[in-house]
Structure formats: structure tokens, C-alpha cells
Amino acid sequence: MSSKPPISTPAMAPQARDLRFLIAVAVFSAAAAVVSARHGAAGQCGPVGAIVTEELYSSLFLHKDDAVCPAKGFYTYASFIRATRKFPKFGATGDLVTRKREVAAFLAQISHETTGGWATAPDGPYSWGLCYKEEISPQSNYCDATDKQWPCYPGKSYHGRGPIQISWNFNYGPAGQALGFDGLRNPELVANCSDTAFQTALWFWMTPRETKPSCHQVMVGEYCPSRADAAANRTAGFGLVTNIVNGGLECNIADDARVNNRIGFYRRYCQVLGVDVGPNLDCAHQLPY
Ligand SMILES: *[C@@H]1O[C@H](CO)[C@@H](O)[C@H](O)[C@H]1NC(C)=O
Ligand SMILES: CC(=O)N[C@H]1CO[C@H](CO)[C@@H](O)[C@@H]1O
């Protein structure tokens, strides 16, 4: 992942506080309590857990705990579900098809970012997501020294870590601020704490930055293209999410292998969840941000 610095530091999306919301929560909680009573802890997994059960999660990430995967044991189902609680709109916005598609898109992007797969890998290349937790042989420490708002801490490296491979001081800083840790002094936390790792990925997914919408907005139909976006072919779909994540390096290129790998994961996950992939899968004809 690489991304331009944000202008502001939007923390988590502010939740509605009106009465209707509270009533809805009360009704939902009552319903959830009934479900929990019937199914034990199942009700605690929330709307995302209802779409991706622990069993399904294990079947998507077949090899994440293999001995060859450096992230063995790191990306647990429990930490994924716990992280979603910090972002209650994730996988919980719109109808069931929309919700499943958003979850599939998120899991596909983090799978590409952490994949240990190759063309002829056992169970296919798209069964190897969440194999890595840290960038292998980073080319630099990803410090943008011109960024005065998020100054690099001496000796620290802001290379890719966690499910979305968050990188650069200008992402570690605001992610940490939003999530309650010092991302500039303690970037290692993203590779050492599973909960923090998943939270950084969801923070990236849910937070609009600069001129970019959030990946969440794109996947749930809350994206309104500007005139410049329209001229750049930046229309909603999985391809636009790829553009947000790493468009500077991968978009506006015909048949890019990295883009195709992201799509491959997305197709598989949509199929498993029983939803159509939707329009605009690639970003070959989109200009990057
Ligand atoms: C937008 O997409 C069309 C058709 O896919 C393509 O011909 C055109 O060059 C694209 N425009 C830009 C700015 O990439
Ligand atoms: C205890 C532990 O897992 N420490 C690791 C924290 O992350 C750094 C790199 O980001 C590793 O080198 C440590 O081993």
C-alpha cells in the first residue's frame, strides 16, 4: 500500500447519536441477545461475523497458519472480528449483497497485500492471503521527511506492516492517532499486535483522505465522483478501490499482474459468499489520484 498524506485526521466515522439510532440499537441488541442465547457466543460476532463465520474465514485463508507463512498464528479470526467493532459501519451498510461485496473487497485487498501464493500454489494462488505481516526487504524506511505534521521518529521504519501493509509516516501517524497508539514512535506494534494490525487495515479502508473517497464509500454506493474523477474514469467498483490502495503504481496500465491478483482474490471471495462482483473490476483505464 502507498498513499498520499491526509489533509485532516478524520478518526473513526462519527456515529449517529439520534434517538432513532438508539432505538434501533436497542431493538438490535434485544434480537442479538435472543440469538446469543440460542447460539452461544455467535451473537457477539456482529454483522461481519454473520457474513464471515470462523469456519468460512479459515476456508478463505487456507494457508495463513502454515509453517512457511511468517504471519503464522497472527491473523486470528477473533482479532479480525474485534477490530470490526471499532468500525461499526464496515460490512453493515446497505443490503446484504452490498455488505457481502464490501467484506469480499476488503478481504481481497488485504489478501493481495499479504499473499504467499504463486500461480501453481497448493489450492490455487488465491488461498494464500494473510501469509505475511511485514514487508520483505523494504527498499527504504518510507520516511517522507518533508511531512512536518507527521515527523519520522529517529531510527524508526515505516515499511509495510499488517493486513493492508500500512506504510509511510504520513499514514502511521494518523492511523495511530485514530486508534490510540503512537504510530510514529511505535510502528512495530502493527506487526506485533494482531488487534492493532487489523485496526490499521480497517482504518485505512474506512477513512477518506485528501481527494480520495474511502474504500468503504466506494463499495457501499456513497461515492460521488467530482468532475475530475469523471474525466479520469474513476467510477465506483472494485477497480476504484485498487486505485485508492495503490493506483499510483498499478492503475492506468493494461493487464497489470498486481491488479489481476487483487481481482483474482475478489472473484473467489465473492463466489464463496454467493454475490456478483459488480462493475468496474479493474483500473486499467483509470487515472491514479
Ligand atoms: C476512459 O475509458 C475509456 C474507455 O475505457 C478510454 O478510452 C479512455 O482513454 C479513458 N480515459 C482516461 C482519461 O483514461
Ligand atoms: C515481540 C515481537 O514480536 N517483536 C517484534 C515487533 O516487530 C518488530 C518489527 O516490526 C520485530 O522485529 C520484533 O521481533
3-state secondary structure 88-108: CCCCCCCCHHHHHHHHHHHHH
Give the pLDDT score at 45.
79
Categorise residue 182: left if φ over 0, alpha if ψ from -120 to 50, beta otherwise.
Answer: beta
Is position 145 within any domain? no
- Tell whether the model's pLDDT for residue 17 goes beyond 70: no
Rounded distance between C-alpha atoms, residue 115 and residue 111, angstroms: 5
Cα-trace Rg, the chain: 18
The count of domains in the chain is 1
Higher-confidence position of 44 and 22? 44
Is position 170 within any domain? no
Is position 141 within any domain? no
Domain span at 261: 19-135+194-273
Picking from 187, 286, 275, 274, the residue whose alpha carbon sits closest to that of residue 245 is 286
Residues with CB under 6 A from ligand 1: 232-233, 285, 287
Is position 9 within any domain? no
Ligand 1 pocket test, candidate residues 235, 281, 285, 287, most atoms within 8 A of CB: 285
For 2-35, give the DSSP string. Answer: --PPPSS---SPPPP-SHHHHHHHHHHHHHHHHH
Is position 11 within any domain? no
Closest-approaching ligand to the CA atom of 235 = 1
* Residue 183: other Cβ atoms inside 10 A: 25
Kindly give, in sequence order, each residue whose CB lies less than 8 Å from that of residue 253, ignoring residues fewer than 6 positions away: 259, 284
Catalytic residue, candidates 102, 113, 134, 250: 113
In angstroms, what is the span from residue 153 Cα to ligand 2's centroid?
17
Q: What is the CATH number of the domain that holds 93?
A: 1.10.530.10
Is position 79 within any domain? yes
Give the pLDDT score at 1.
55
Rounded distance between C-alpha atoms, residue 264 and residue 280, angstroms: 14
Mean pLDDT in the chain?
88
Predicted TM-score (pTM) of the model is 0.85
Rounded distance between C-alpha atoms, residue 262 and residue 113, angstroms: 9
- CA distances 127 to 48, 57, 174, 261, 272, Å, are 20, 11, 32, 12, 12
- Tell whether the model's pLDDT for residue 3 goes beyond 90: no
Each residue of 50-81: pLDDT tens digit? 999 999 999 999 999 999 999 999 999 999 99
Is position 1 within any domain? no
Is position 279 within any domain? no
Mean pLDDT to the nearest integer, 86-90? 98
Each residue of 106-127: pLDDT tens digit? 999 999 999 999 999 999 999 9
